[in-house]
Amino acid sequence: MPPADQPAVPPPLAAEQSLDSFDLATLRAEESTVLIVVPRRCPVGKPGEIVVCAPNPEADRLRPLPDTYVVTEGLGRAERQIAPGTMAGVDMSSVAMPGGVVSNRVMFNLKMGF
């Protein structure tokens, strides 16, 4: 067989390792290896202590807009005349369904004068 038609050499199989035999010192620095250090979120407790930690809910909370923020004009109507006397439009609505479920809808309207 010519060299171009020879089958490709399969990649070497990964060796199985247990956690006991894993050692960072033996890890080869490959291009695909990415090591990320994640800092500890919670303090270490003393013996007999119970340490409870959680993310700060205030960190991602949206604050109300200041009183100086004023909307001068709302969005325009999503409506267009497609023929004389015929209007097409799109709008959104929410309707409460039985059982407390809210149905969010996108409605397409076609208005024809007659």
- Does residue 84 form part of some domain? yes
Residue 85 lies in a domain: yes
d(CA 5, CA 45): 64
Of the pLDDT bands very low, low, confident and very high (cuts 50, 70, 90), residue 53 is confident
Q: How far is CA 99 from CA 93, 102, 103, in A?
A: 18, 9, 11
Structural domains of the chain, count? 1
Q: Which residues pair with 114 in a beta bridge?
A: none
Query: What is the tens place of the pLDDT at every residue in 61-82?
Result: 888 888 887 777 666 678 999 9
User: Where in the sequence is the domain holding 86, given as residue range(s)?
Assistant: 80-114
Q: Does 87 fall in a domain?
A: yes
pLDDT of residue 87: 93
pTM value? Answer: 0.30
SS3 30: coil
Residue 109 has pLDDT above 60, yes or no: yes
Structure tokens at 39: 């800092």
Q: What is the pLDDT of residue 111?
A: 92
Flag whether 50 is in a domain: no
Q: State residue 89's pLDDT score.
A: 92
Q: Is residue 98 part of a domain?
A: yes
* pLDDT tops 80 at residue 29: no
How confident is residue 91, by pLDDT bands cut at 50, 70 and 90? confident
| 95 falls within a domain | yes
Q: So what's the pLDDT on residue 110?
A: 93
Q: Is residue 4 part of a domain?
A: no
pLDDT band at 34 (very low <50, low <70, confident <90, very high): low
Q: Is residue 16 part of a domain?
A: no
Q: Distance between CA 92 and CA 77 in Å, rounded?
A: 11
d(CA 69, CA 36) in angstroms, rounded, equals: 42
